[in-house]
Amino acid sequence: MKPILFIVAPGFEEIELAAPVDILRRLEIPVVTAGLQGRTAEGAHGVPVTADMLMVDVDPEQYDGIVLPGGPASWTLRDTPGVLALVRAFHAAGKLVGAICAAPIALEAAGVLEGRRVTCYPAVKGDLKSAAEVLDTPAATDGNIVTGRGPGAALEFGFALADYLGCAEKTPSLRRDMCVC
Amino acid sequence: MKPILFIVAPGFEEIELAAPVDILRRLEIPVVTAGLQGRTAEGAHGVPVTADMLMVDVDPEQYDGIVLPGGPASWTLRDTPGVLALVRAFHAAGKLVGAICAAPIALEAAGVLEGRRVTCYPAVKGDLKSAAEVLDTPAATDGNIVTGRGPGAALEFGFALADYLGCAEKTPSLRRDMCVC
């Protein structure tokens, strides 16, 4: 399996990066983090994280999916043409496209939510005009589009990504190992 | 209020740092992160985080509490005399002492769990010999000692820290804002 790419933009929600990356790597699903505006980005709550590489160096052929953590970074993701181009490339290849919190607005801008059932941070629900339905669930999977609701649902979003990537048999024991309550 | 100090040691569990720091900073409780062996430490799942300062530069008088994220870092914390000295200084002053996952083993080594009711990662339960009781709850508060069970309980640990620090009236609305499920 090729790695899953996580985009790290300034103002990303720290929990929304940490929880899904943690879950996928615990399941030995390869993950690569890519910085949007440099290798190091400060999260929404002041924690600087260093990514594995720069997003400009990403060749989408080398990855099996893309995931966008949310937070204030979501608007930067939405307004960056290079992010939208990458999202479209993964979607056109039928690969996993994931986003959590407000980051589904970048999927909307990329035009990949048409007719999909998704979830998102409540405040941006009205922005996802092309989606068939915006659910209030912690996570939602519709085809290759996996979405999460917000930081408090970041573990559920991570497990939904893992399930989509073929680890559904392993996630119940991982939930126990991680003391999910 | 003086800041709460979080110790960032190599192999820390990323979620166990991100979730409580996030919650406290959202509540405008000041937080300072301090690196044990350098400003930057790689987490247990390969995410490098840069701390605000070095632990050797910490003057405990300037802080209102200390929190130890867990993961493989827990054994390093337990085996570092400077960490145990800091924990004892905060405890002797009656200040908050928090630890999650396996990190309560460092509180045990520092001798501050005597007669306390605590929680911890199940695999290290037997190591907390001086505690009065080791609970299976996501978080536990007994006097100034606040403990959490593991990464899946990191949000609950964060809310328990916030409640202890006087924010109990604000945490219900924060839970909703964060889409805690």
| B-chain residues near A181 (CB < 8 A) | 138, 149, 152-153, 156
**Sheet hosting strand B31-35, strand order edge to edge:** B53-54, B31-35, B4-8, B65-68, B96-100, B145-148, B139-142
pLDDT score of B98 more than 90: yes
Contacts of B128 (CB under 8 A, 6+ apart): B104, B105, B108, B113, B118, B120, B134
Query: What does the pLDDT average to over A40-53?
Result: 98
CB atoms within 10 A of CB B49: 25
| A-chain residues near B15 (CB < 8 A) | 15, 18-19, 22, 155
- Confidence band, pLDDT 50/70/90 cuts, at residue A54: very high
Instruction: Choose among B14, B122, B181: nearest Cβ to A153.
Output: B181
What three-state secondary structure class fits B29? coil
Supply the pLDDT for residue A48: 98
- A20-34 per-position pLDDT tens digit: 999 999 999 999 999
Q: How many CB pairs under 8 A join A and B?
A: 106
Instruction: List A residues 1-40 in contact with B (Cβ-Cβ < 8 A).
Output: 13-15, 17-19, 21-22, 25-26, 31, 33, 40
Contacts of B127 (CB under 8 A, 6+ apart): B105, B108
Q: What percent of chain A has pLDDT over 70?
A: 100
Contact across the interface for B22 and A40, Cβ inside 8 Å? no
Query: What does the pLDDT average to over A58-65?
Result: 98
Q: What percent of chain B has pLDDT over 70?
A: 100
Print burial letters for A148-175: b (CB count within 10 Å at least 16), e (below 16).
Answer: bbbbbbbbbbbbbbbbbbebeebbeebb
| A-chain residues near B44 (CB < 8 A) | 22
pLDDT score of B181 more than 90: no
pTM for the model: 0.97
| Minimal C-alpha gap between A33 and chain B (Å) | 9
- A141-163 per-position pLDDT tens digit: 999 999 999 999 999 999 999 99
Contact across the interface for B47 and A18, Cβ inside 8 Å? yes
Phi, psi for residue B58 in degrees, rounded to 5: -80, 130
Strand A117-119 with B4-8, pairing:
unpaired
Strand A145-148 with A139-142, pairing:
antiparallel
**DSSP string of B65-124?**
EEEE--TTHHHHHHT-HHHHHHHHHHHHTT-EEEEETTTHHHHHHHT--TT-EEE--GGG
Give the best residue of B22, B45, B135, B159 to mutate against chain A (max A CB count within 10 A): B22
Interatomic CA distance for residues A142 and A153, integer angstroms: 17
Instruction: Choose among A15, A179, A181: nearest Cβ to B22.
Output: A15
Supply the pLDDT for residue A71: 98
Torsion angle, alpha carbons of B48, B52, B55, B58, to 10: -170
**DSSP string of A114-174?**
TT-EEE--GGGGGG-TTSSEEE-SSEEEETTEEEE--GGGHHHHHHHHHIIIIITTTHHHH
pLDDT score of A181 more than 90: no
Contacts of A114 (CB under 8 A, 6+ apart): A130, A131
- A97-156 per-position pLDDT tens digit: 999 999 999 999 999 999 999 999 999 999 999 999 999 999 999 999 999 999 999 999
For chain A, say whether B172 makes contact (Cβ under 8 Å): no
Q: What percent of chain B has pLDDT over 90?
A: 99
Query: What does the pLDDT average to over B122-141?
Result: 98
